[in-house]
Amino acid sequence: MTEAARLNLNDGWTATCEEAEIAVPLAVPGDIHSALLAAGKIEDPYWRDNETRTDWVHRSVWTARRSFDLEHLQDGYFTLRFDSVDCLAEVFVNGRRAGRCESQFLRYDFDVTTLLNEGGNVIEVVFHSNSLEAEKRARQSEFPMPYTANSRIGHLNFLRKAQCHGGWDWGIALCPLGFYGDITLVRTGHLRLDDVAIRQRHTEGAVELDVTLHAFAFAPAVEEAAVAIDGHEERATLRAYPGENRVRVTVKMDHPRLWWPAGQGEQAFYDLAVSLGGQKREFRIGLRDVELLTDADAIGNRFAFRVNGREIFMKGANWIPGDALPERASKEQVRDLLVSAVEANMNMIRIWGGGQYEADWFYELCDELGLMIWHDFMFACNLYPAHERPFLELVRKEARQQLRRLSRFAAMALWCGDNELVGALTWYRESLENRDRYLAIYDRLNHVLEEAVEDEDLGLPFRPSSPSVGRLDFGDGWHVDTSGDMHFWDVWHSAKDFEHYRSVRPRFCSEFGFQSFPSMRVIESFTEALDRNVSSAVMDVHQRNEGGNSRIVETIARYFRFPDSFEDMVYLSQLSQGLAMKTAIEFWRSNRPRTMGTLFWQLNDTWPVASWSSLEYGGG
């Protein structure tokens, strides 16, 4: 390894569980469940009612190991970097503790300079049970923190982990664990470049890029930072002291080619090169200006996106993780889903707060396709322990790291604090009996996110929650169609006629949906012939919304002659779903400019299931 070099450590990992006497190869990125499945140690959890047979996996302790050789340790500092670890793990290098991981949503950088050997080295990562630790933290909490009834595996609101890993009203509950990003050994001098944050400031005919380089200093250092784009280069000097440091370099470009959302113009890109202390980063960035218009009007307050000075009606859907088994959510599989969205004339997706921040390549795909992103922070439908300082500290680090990482992507349009947390205050007995306490706890969480957005100052709009009437408004945003964004679920959850969509005229509808069964091709992939009945036990396992199958059947009877066969039932359920979405979207689009966006629930599925998705599991 040379100065400022990286050694990729993704290959050669083995996962062992001493209790189960199992050892299997572990892919990186990858998860333990997928490794066991590939080795024939578990049956497919998606098949019939197999789900609960894998519960022992998330309740066990697993150790991931790999060895590697290293030479020339005399010079430089060595950092062991994990892009994403899910989620509670202790890291050992040559038998000595390097650190602990507490969050799926944080990159972890461990200084291992003094732990390495010349020659052979061994890394061990001990994964503790996410689910058992969540139960323990819930018992120890000063106040009860209820979680959504959708979650079969409970209390994940105490962990910084994808909340839908415990199950949802469309999702299997596997509670996976593993490595979801690269593992690298980074060698640097006194200074380590950690994050590059980019803010675009657009004026008439020009753009200024404020590029902030965040670096960690092992010792005092003086280094030059450089930023180059399209023939323009600027420099600045960083005088660093031990700990975290930052330096900003500003580059101005006249008459830039602009990046536009799909259907509005080309997706133009520039190559941006950044360097600091012998460490280089290269990015492909699009230049665009994004505003969220919320000014008052005769109706209430607007909710409209303006891109490059043009107001654009946002057409799209909500995104959940690509697969319940993280290893299966490959770049090729995800690209197929996103291309399908653009081919259906979408220009925005909402990354929902019960899922995860995606890998860099996901956002690169959205940039390439012109698919703008409404991005929730990762909180959904639960109460969260923001009364506990360690939890809030994790959230602070997560928010700032993700804001910096994703600032370079042109597709990013909005940061939103959470999904439905204000509504959740009315869902649980504890918060209904003491709203003041739980509202104060929520405000602590929400303020940390707002503060991070303001302090990082990266130029994107922030909304406190979805649905929300506006900042510091903790009222019922669910049924207000005069201001803010709206989640409109009356048609599905109250089994009302499709025509009921025409009873509201939202400023922006960020969630609404109607269920269908997946196709027979998908149903045949998880059933035996005897299961293919609407009321069978296996079909119930693959329907996570209580009463969902009967609601689908009731709707078919309302709009069609009752089908003679299960196959016809499946087909008509999909026609019903299409008619529901057609009714809502056409009416709300006809209300432009009062309504300026429709993002239906949901684009994709994480496993084969009856749900609100327009693209079933497998992408059909």
Render 389-455 in DSSP notation, one character per residue.
Answer: HHHHHHHHHHHHHHHHHHTT-TTEEEEE--BSHHHHTTTSHHHHHTHHHHHHHHHHHHHHHHHHHHH
The pLDDT value given to residue 472:
86
pLDDT in tens, 485-506: 999 999 999 999 999 999 999 9
| Position 239 pLDDT exceeds 80 | yes
Cα(365)–Cα(421) distance, integer angstroms:
30
The pLDDT value given to residue 475:
80
543: number of CA atoms within 13 Å, CB side? Answer: 21
Cα(287)–Cα(269) distance, integer angstroms:
7
Query: Residues 566, 568, 571, 576: what is their CA dihedral angle, to the nearest 10 degrees?
Result: -100
Do residues 326 and 178 make contact, with C-beta atoms less than 8 angstroms apart?
A: yes
Cα(444)–Cα(392) distance, integer angstroms:
8
pLDDT (mean) for 61-71: 96
| Position 518 pLDDT exceeds 70 | yes
pLDDT (mean) for 81-101: 98
pLDDT in tens, 34-61: 999 999 999 999 999 999 999 999 999 9
Cα(466)–Cα(157) distance, integer angstroms:
18
The pLDDT value given to residue 221:
96
Between the alpha carbon of residue 520 and those of residues 25, 154, 155, 602, the distances in Å are 34, 32, 35, 20
The pLDDT value given to residue 209:
98
pLDDT (mean) for 469-477: 84
| Position 3 pLDDT exceeds 70 | no
Q: Where are the beta strands (DSSP E) in 112-242?
A: 119-127, 178-179, 183-188, 191-203, 206-217, 221-229, 232-240
| Position 453 pLDDT exceeds 90 | yes
pLDDT in tens, 504-514: 999 999 999 99
pLDDT (mean) for 64-74: 92
The pLDDT value given to residue 1:
41
Do residues 85 and 29 make contact, with C-beta atoms less than 8 angstroms apart?
A: no
| Position 2 pLDDT exceeds 70 | no
Percent of the chain with pLDDT over 90: 96
Amino acid (one-letter) located at 97: R
- Residue 478: band (very low, low, confident or very high) from pLDDT cuts 50, 70, 90: confident
Look over the chain and give the mean of its residue pLDDT values, rounded to a whole number.
97
Do residues 516 and 573 make contact, with C-beta atoms less than 8 angstroms apart?
A: yes
Do residues 177 and 127 make contact, with C-beta atoms less than 8 angstroms apart?
A: yes
pLDDT in tens, 523-551: 999 999 999 999 999 999 999 999 999 99
Peptide bond into 29 cis (omega under 30): yes
The pLDDT value given to residue 474:
84
Q: What are phi and psi of 579, to 5 degrees?
A: -65, -40
Cα(269)–Cα(284) distance, integer angstroms:
6
Cα(246)–Cα(239) distance, integer angstroms:
9
User: Is 585 strand, coil or helix?
Assistant: helix
Do residues 618 and 330 make contact, with C-beta atoms less than 8 angstroms apart?
A: no
The pLDDT value given to residue 330:
96
- Residue 473: band (very low, low, confident or very high) from pLDDT cuts 50, 70, 90: confident
Do residues 610 and 552 make contact, with C-beta atoms less than 8 angstroms apart?
A: yes
pLDDT in tens, 421-449: 999 999 999 999 999 999 999 999 999 99
pLDDT in tens, 292-346: 999 999 999 999 999 999 999 999 999 999 999 999 999 999 999 999 999 999 9
